[in-house]
């Protein structure tokens, strides 16, 4: 992941130092488990722990240099660790294991930790959405379908729906965390032929993972589920971002991203305040969805293993985790600084000459005895006339001899409060979201 979108707290999880530190801990735990079983002497296991190398930049470079000879990254790692510990104790490192025992368990451990960070960021986002929804529970705005004025709603109800969708993505991420938080140390084809299942159980318990049956590799549907959770979250964030982009258009101008002192919206046009964060979120969501395709293709491997998945996973797994975290934090920041122009929202409701009340007028005419089609045609014609003459729909209706509605019936049909009386149902649903 390029540094621009790699926040340090999650980038550290997938760093080379972190990866090799996890490899080392898995190896040491496996050695200690084998000591309990009598395969390795307690003295040698203690020596391995005591003399285990510090995983720092020097260690990472040493592994890279050794890999130039072995052309195998895990073998290079094992060689460097064994050399640091020394013989004879060092010989027990990687005893009975195959590379993917270590690599897959480390991947699952890293992804579990990554999911925890993402879930924490999602909690913050949901809390911000709940706060914003309540703040604007009575902020009237026009609802749009197909980009066209439809009927009034509230900005709070819109935001509440976002909160509910992010909450569903949180459930998906929790499920993915459980699916990926597994451990596999069962040897070359997963038969435990050279290592006891008790070793796997010990390592799993020590790392807070679950030991699962496997071939030489952990089944990749688990990783695909994690990538799906990241992609789904990204798509939800894109949906919110696109709405924010539309609402920031000059002709709409109902919300605006925060603009810091000294910030520049355009290198050429000083007046510009562009929706750069929302546009960035849209673009990064595309990457998350693309990575999911790779994850799905990685599910089908040859026999008990091949490494066609490995090279791709080195990119898509950390990148998706980091991007999912980044876009969640970025959207929370956008919403924290969002400027909501409540007056402009009201102006836009009124800008379409009251035609947005066409449905209650239609229903009132049906109640008065007209057929639905007849009532529909009357309101349709009068709404078109209101637009063309730039005249309020109510005035056009009052001058239409076909419309036999009393002032009270028209008042009720054009009553804004009637349109919004049940928006609290959506707000209440969002307010009930918990952060456990």
In tens digits, what is the pLDDT along the chain, a chain of 436 residues?
A: 899 999 999 999 999 999 999 999 999 999 999 999 999 999 999 999 999 999 999 999 999 999 999 999 999 999 999 999 999 999 999 999 999 999 999 999 999 999 999 999 999 999 999 999 999 999 999 999 999 999 999 999 999 999 999 999 999 999 999 999 999 999 999 999 999 999 999 999 999 999 999 999 999 999 999 999 999 999 999 999 999 999 999 999 999 998 877 787 777 787 778 888 999 999 999 999 999 999 999 999 999 999 999 999 999 999 999 999 999 999 999 999 999 999 999 999 999 999 999 999 999 999 999 999 999 999 999 999 999 999 999 999 999 999 999 999 999 999 999 989 999 999 999 999 997 6
Residue 14 contacts residue 321 (beta carbons within 8 Å): yes
- DSSP code of residue 54: P
pTM for the whole structure: 0.95
CATH architecture of 347-431: Orthogonal Bundle (1.10)
Residue 436 has a pLDDT of: 67
- A 10 A CB-CB count for 390 gives 7
Sequence ranges of the domains in the chain: 1-91, 99-257+271-345, 347-431
Residue 379 has a pLDDT of: 97
**1-91 belongs to which CATH class?**
mainly alpha
**What gap in Å lies between CA 285 and CA 235, rounded to an integer?**
6
- Fold classification of 99-257+271-345 is Fumarase C; Chain A, domain 2 (1.20.200)
Residue 168 has a pLDDT of: 98
Query: Of how many residues is the chain composed?
Result: 436
- pLDDT one-digit tens code per residue, 313-368: 999 999 999 999 999 999 999 999 999 999 999 999 999 999 999 999 999 999 99
- pLDDT one-digit tens code per residue, 6-24: 999 999 999 999 999 999 9
**What gap in Å lies between CA 201 and CA 181, rounded to an integer?**
14
CA neighbor of 181 nearest in space, from 108, 119, 106 = 108
Establish whether 136 is a catalytic residue: no
Q: Nearest 5°: CA angle at 28, between 203 and 82? A: 145
- DSSP code of residue 283: H
Establish whether 62 is a catalytic residue: no
Residue 264 has a pLDDT of: 75
Pairing of strands 339-340, 182-183: unpaired
Q: What is the distance in angstroms between the CA of the first residue and the CA of the last residue of the chain? A: 30
- A 10 A CB-CB count for 400 gives 15
Alpha-carbon distance values, 135 to 130, 203, 236 (Å): 9, 49, 22
List, in order, residues 6 or more apart from 318 with CB less than 8 Å away: 1, 13, 14, 110, 114
The two structure tokens encoding residue 287? 């990457």
Residue 154 contacts residue 66 (beta carbons within 8 Å): no
Q: Positive or negative CA dihedral for 398, 403, 407, 408?
A: negative
Q: Which of 171, 193, 266, 308 is catalytic?
A: 266
**What gap in Å lies between CA 102 and CA 74, rounded to an integer?**
8
Rounded to the nearest 10 degrees, the angle between the axes of helix 42-50 and helix 16-36 is 160
């Amino acid at each position: 992941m390029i540094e621009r979108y790699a926040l340090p707290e999650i980038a550290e999880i997938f760093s080379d130092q972190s990866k090799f530190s996890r490899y080392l801990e898995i190896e040491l735990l496996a050695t200690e488990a084998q000591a309990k079983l009598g395969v390795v002497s307690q003295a040698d296991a203690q020596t391995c722990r005591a003399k285990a190398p510090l995983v720092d930049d020097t260690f990472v470079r040493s592994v890279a240099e050794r890999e130039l000879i072995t052309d195998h990254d895990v073998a290079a790692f094992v060689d460097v660790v064994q050399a640091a510990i020394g013989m004879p104790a060092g010989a027990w490192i990687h005893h009975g294991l195959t590379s993917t025992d270590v690599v897959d368990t480390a991947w699952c451990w890293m992804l579990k930790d990554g999911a925890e960070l993402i879930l924490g960021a999602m909690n913050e986002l949901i809390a911000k959405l709940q706060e914003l929804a309540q703040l604007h529970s009575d902020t009237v705005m026009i609802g749009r379908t197909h980009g066209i004025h439809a009927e009034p709603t509230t900005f709070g109800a819109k935001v509440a729906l976002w909160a509910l969708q992010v909450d569903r993505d949180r459930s998906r991420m929790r499920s993915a965390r459980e699916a990926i938080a597994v451990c596999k140390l069962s040897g070359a084809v997963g038969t435990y032929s050279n290592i006891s299942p008790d070793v796997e159980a010990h390592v799993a318990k020590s790392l807070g993972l679950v030991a699962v049956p496997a071939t030489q590799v952990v089944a990749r549907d688990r990783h695909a589920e994690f990538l799906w959770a990241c992609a789904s979250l990204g798509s939800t964030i894109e949906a919110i971002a696109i709405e924010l982009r539309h609402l920031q258009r000059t002709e709409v101008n109902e919300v605006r991203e925060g603009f810091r002192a000294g910030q520049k919206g355009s290198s050429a046009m000083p007046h510009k305040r562009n929706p750069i964060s929302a546009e960035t979120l849209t673009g990064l969501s595309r990457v998350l969805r693309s990575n999911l395709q790779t994850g799905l293709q990685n599910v089908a491997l040859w026999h008990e293993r091949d490494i066609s998945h490995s090279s791709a996973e080195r990119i898509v797994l950390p990148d998706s985790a980091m991007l999912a975290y980044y876009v969640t934090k970025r959207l929370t920041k956008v919403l924290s600084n969002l400027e909501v122009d409540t007056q402009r929202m009201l102006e836009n409701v009124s800008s379409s000459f009251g035609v947005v009340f066409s449905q209650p007028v239609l229903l009132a005419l049906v109640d008065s005895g007209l057929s639905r089609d007849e009532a529909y045609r009357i309101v349709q014609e009068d709404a078109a006339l209101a637009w063309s003459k730039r005249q309020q729909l109510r005035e056009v209706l009052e001058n239409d001899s076909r419309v036999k509605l009393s002032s009270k019936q028209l008042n009720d049909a054009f009553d804004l409060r009637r349109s919004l009386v049940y928006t609290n149902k959506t707000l209440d649903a969002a307010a009930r979201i918990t952060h456990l």
